[in-house]
Amino acid sequence: MKTEPPSCHCSLTAAMSIFETARAKINLCLDVTEKLPDGYHGVRGVMQSIDFSDQLEISPDLAADKRGWRVESNIRYIPSGETNLAARAALLFHSHTGAGPRSGLIKIKKRIPVCGGFGGGSSDAAAVLRALNREFAAGLGRAELERLGERLGSDVPFCVAGGTALAEGKGEKLTPLPHLDCYTVVCRPDFSCSTPELFAAIDKMKMRIRPDVPGMVKAVAEGDLQGVARRLFNVFEEALPKKQAEAIWVIKDLLIDSGALGAVMTGSGSGVFGIFPNKNAAEEGCRRLKAEGVECHLARTTRAIE
């Protein structure tokens, strides 16, 4: 619904900027349940946000010229125009609410690996929705922001608030779960996976094993880290081409050998993470993986944004 633009509650001028943090997500477990009539797939799993983040600086063009939204980043190859998901989020926010600027600049300091299964692009888009909603007092609640996010991508609704949640439907049906506090080491192998190709591979496969999603939900609710680690499982690992599957197993083994309680690929890869019993163990694990030449980062799980 389009409404009259509410007056801005802040005193933004053309020179001012809005700052927002965009957190990565990991999939503690992930199942693909069915192919839907529109070509998308039903998914089911537990998602978790972590303090591994991109930093956004949004500078609205309040002069309302017609330059549109532009995106600048430390990563050369991400789109700089309105095909970038963050710019699309800003456009969608304006067209939906009538609030906020029609054009501006979004600077993204990217740390979350692009196409890594950590929801980097989705998280940037969700951060734009959150920031514009707050600064331009549009008054959208969390559920409304999630519904807007759904129009941008399947992971965007979760990234609006993050935390720990059961995700169903195409990923947009979210049930918040109790906070799971733990330390992880996130790794980025030096190859990317194609999400549509992995979904297509799954369509052709007979899945041998599926994740224990109810067991994972229970383990999270009980704060049972060992139980969570035992149930880390991602059906996309089975759909990977052989060479990539082997590369993922090498990193998972390295994580386990370095003290992780369990390790798994996140989303459609190629990112992999391990769960560690405490901060010291995660720091030591991260050091060991770096010594083996693996690109990795220490990250702690985060609570949902209120």
267 contacts ligand C5P (rule: CB under 6 A): no
153 contacts ligand C5P (rule: CB under 6 A): yes
Verify cis geometry, omega within 30 degrees of 0, for the bond prior to 103.
no
Q: Residue 240: what residue type?
A: L
Closest contact distance (angstroms) between CB of 289 and ligand C5P is 28
Cβ within 8 Å of residue 192, ≥6 positions away: 115, 116, 269, 270
196 contacts ligand C5P (rule: CB under 6 A): yes
Closest contact distance (angstroms) between CB of 229 and ligand C5P is 26
Tokens read off for 61: 């063009």
Give, for 254, the enclosing helix (H) or strand (E): helix 242-257
Q: Residue 146: what residue type?
A: E
**Annotation marks residue 107 as catalytic:** no
**Contact (Cβ atoms closer than 8 angstroms) between residue 15 and residue 219:** no
* Tokens 């083994």, located at residue: 253
Q: Which stretch binds ligand C5P (CB under 6 A): 9-17, 192-200, 228-236, 277-285?
A: 192-200
| Binding-residue pattern over the window 162 to 191 for ligand C5P, x denoting contact by CB under 6 A | --------xx--------------------
Closest contact distance (angstroms) between CB of 155 and ligand C5P is 6
**Contact (Cβ atoms closer than 8 angstroms) between residue 177 and residue 147:** no
**Contact (Cβ atoms closer than 8 angstroms) between residue 186 and residue 285:** no
43 contacts ligand C5P (rule: CB under 6 A): yes
Q: For ligand C5P, which residue of 79, 195, 245, 256 counts as binding (CB under 6 A)?
A: 195
Q: In whole angstroms, what is the distance from residue 126 CA to residue 108 CA? A: 13
* Tokens 């959208």, located at residue: 140
154 contacts ligand C5P (rule: CB under 6 A): yes
- In the beta sheet, which residues pair with residue 245? none
Which listed residue (25, 110, 124, 252) is catalytic? 25
155 contacts ligand C5P (rule: CB under 6 A): yes
Q: Which is nearer to ligand C5P, 158 or 199 (CB)?
A: 199
Per DSSP bridges, beta strands 262-265 and 183-187 are unpaired
CA angle 83, 113, 93 (to 5 degrees): 35
**Annotation marks residue 170 as catalytic:** no
Closest contact distance (angstroms) between CB of 237 and ligand C5P is 17
Closest contact distance (angstroms) between CB of 150 and ligand C5P is 9
Q: For ligand C5P, which residue of 21, 41, 109, 249 counts as binding (CB under 6 A)?
A: 41
Q: Under the rule (CB under 6 A), what is the footprint of ligand C5P?
A: 40-41, 43, 153-155, 170-171, 195-196, 199
Catalytic residues: 25, 155
